Amino acid sequence: MKLKHKIIALNMGALFFMLIILGTIITMITDNYNLRTTLQYLENQSNYSAIYIEQYALSKAPNDFEVPAVMNTSANYLAAVLKESVKCRVQIFYGTELLGDSEESTSSDEAIRPEIAETFQKNKAYLISTGKNRVFYYAVPVSISNRYTYSLGFIYDLKEADNMMSNTIKMFIFTGLFISIFMMLGSTIISNKITNPIKMLNEATKQFSEGNFESRAHAATHDEVGELSTTFNSMADSIKDMITKLSNEKEKQKYFFDNFTHEIRTPLTTILGYTELLWKTNDEEVRDKSLFYITSEGKRMLKMMERLLELSKLKNYSFELNKSDSNLKKLIEDACDSMQYKMKRYSTSCRLELEDIIWKVDPDLFKQVIINIIDNCIKYSKSPVIDISLKHQEVIKLEITDYGCGIDLKNLESVFDPYYKVDQSRNSKTEGWGLGLSIVKEIVDKHGGHIEIMSTPQKGTSIIITLV
């Protein structure tokens, strides 16, 4: 069963249950009220009738001993008179003997009813019969001169009370049908308002599962369904972003793999070529030259592998730094000294403005950060000078600035991505695999620091590292 039909069925069931309970209670209250009213009426009439019978008997009898004779002859008359007054059948008993009846009795041997028998003990009593046509039986003792006790019985037809109860039940049935129609219409409208956003959410989820990552739920409600739609949209946005990132990462890996294949093919081709030449030549100079190039290309391949392993190691969350109190100024100077040969080859130099600072870092990795950044400045910027400053204010601030070609804004957003190179041409003569700055960022992040790059095309680039 669909949710919409469940809501309608639940509302209709609740309505019917409420009507049945309410109808039963009201019918019982109404009927009890009618019975109490009838009882009070008969009590009042019985008091009047008992006085009337006593006064009549005493007025007709010459003395108290003649009362039974008067009652025997006048019982039917008294019953008929009281019937006109009470508006119900009246019977007069003396003991178990029926003396008078306002209506003709069908049998003279009828059993004494319980309420009549109760009057023998000088008690008032009543009995209500059950069935289709109910009757209210009421009896009181009538004492004459405290010598003779008669029983006065009223047989009151409850036809009016039964009709009222029947009309009440009919009224509730018709009212229930009328309300049910409106309840069904209202439940349909309400259930549509509840289920339509769920249908939209279900449809959006189905489309999303089929690969339509632009599918979103549009629920204008401010209830739990609206919150669920908002949560679904947030989840869909996150999944879409994740898929986009994975796609971009896949593209980068493919680009890197293509470049890596191209890069590794060149030294392998060189090594194989010079290896074949070694087998064919006896010229000592040629052999030395071949061995030099084989060694050079082999080292280049080894460096490439080391960079890849380095980045993989840094991205491992279980990797631990070996921090110690280190002189940052000395680490930077050592890094610059190790790059002197390459700086001379590219006709560039470093200008240092360093404060003497002791800080807890991993000395080998921190030195590698400096070397990688200087190496990038040398290779890509072609700057005649590289400025390096180290200051300790509220935080440790290391700034490395070159005055070369700079990086445009489009490339600036991706320079820290693995495998990314500003010059993406496969035939580029610039060495490298786009891993240097990615390694730098990973090391800085491991130290709990922050790295920022600012650049202006044709003016230069500044890399700012802060340690806290």
Q: What is the pLDDT of residue 258?
A: 61
SS3 for 57-91 is HHHHCCCHHHHHHHHHHHHHHHHHHHHHHHCCEEE
118 pLDDT more than 60? yes
pLDDT of 62 strictly over 80: yes
To the nearest 10 degrees (0 to 180), the angle between helices 284-314 and 436-446 is: 40
pLDDT, residue 187, reads: 79
Q: What's the CA gap between 442 and 326, in Å, rounded?
A: 20
Give the pLDDT confidence of 366-407 residue by residue, as tens digits: 988 898 889 888 888 888 999 999 999 889 999 999 998 888
175 within 8 A of 94, measured Cβ to Cβ = no
Angle of CA points 426, 431, 432, to nearest 5°: 90
Residue 433's pLDDT band (cuts 50, 70, 90): very low
Place of tokens 């639940």: 10
d(CA 1, CA 279): 84
Q: In this model, does residue 428 exceed pLDDT 60?
A: no
pLDDT for 129 beyond 50:
yes
The domains found in the chain, sorted by start residue, are 3-165 (3.30.450.20), 224-310 (1.10.287.130), 320-467 (3.30.565.10)
* Alpha carbons 287 and 87: distance in angstroms, whole number: 145
Please give the biggest Cα pair distance in the chain: 177
Q: Which of 90-94, 140-144, 319-323 has the lowest mean pLDDT?
A: 319-323
Q: By the 8 A CB rule, do 141 and 122 touch?
A: yes
Is there a contact between 95 and 119 (Cβ–Cβ < 8 Å)?
Answer: no
Predicted confidence at residue 357, as pLDDT, reads: 93
Phi/psi of residue 200, each to 5°?
-65, -40
Locate 47 and state its tokens.
Answer: 């008091």
Tokens for 300, please give them: 């280049």
pLDDT at 398: 95
Label residue 333 by pLDDT band (50, 70, 90).
very high
Query: pTM for this one?
Result: 0.46
Choose the most confident range, by mean pLDDT, from 52-61, 192-201, 304-313, 410-419.
52-61
Lookup: tokens for 176: 């229930």
20-55: per-residue pLDDT in tens? 888 889 889 999 999 999 999 999 999 999 999 999
The reported pLDDT for the residue numbered 424 is 47
Residue 384 corresponds to which tokens in the numbers above?
């005649």
Average pLDDT, rounded, for the chain: 83
Assess whether pLDDT exceeds 80 at residue 467: yes
Output the pLDDT for position 450: 93
Q: What would the pLDDT profile of 214-256 be if each residue is shown by its tens digit?
A: 777 776 667 777 777 778 788 888 888 888 888 877 776 675 5
- Summarize pLDDT for 259-287 with one digit per residue, the tens: 556 556 656 777 887 788 888 888 888 88
How buried is residue 141: exposed, middle or buried, by Cβ count under 10 Å (0-12/13-18/19+)?
Answer: buried
pLDDT of residue 425: 43
Mean pLDDT of 192-214: 78
Q: What percent of the chain has pLDDT above 70?
A: 86
pLDDT of residue 155: 94
Residue 5 has pLDDT above 70, yes or no: yes
Three-state secondary structure call for residue 266: helix
- In order of 175, 429, 430, 434, the CA distances from 136 in angstroms are 31, 119, 117, 107
8 A C-beta contact, residue 452 and residue 437: no
Angstrom distance (rounded) from CA 220 to CA 197: 8
List of long-range contacts for 284-289, beta carbons under 8 Å, 24+ apart: none
pLDDT confidence of residue 201 = 76
Cα–Cα distance list, 130 to 117, 134, 135, 158, 297 (Å) = 20, 5, 8, 11, 115
pLDDT category of residue 19 using cuts at 50, 70 and 90: confident
317 pLDDT above the threshold of 50: no
pLDDT value of residue 6: 76
pLDDT at 213 over 80: no
3-state secondary structure of 323: coil
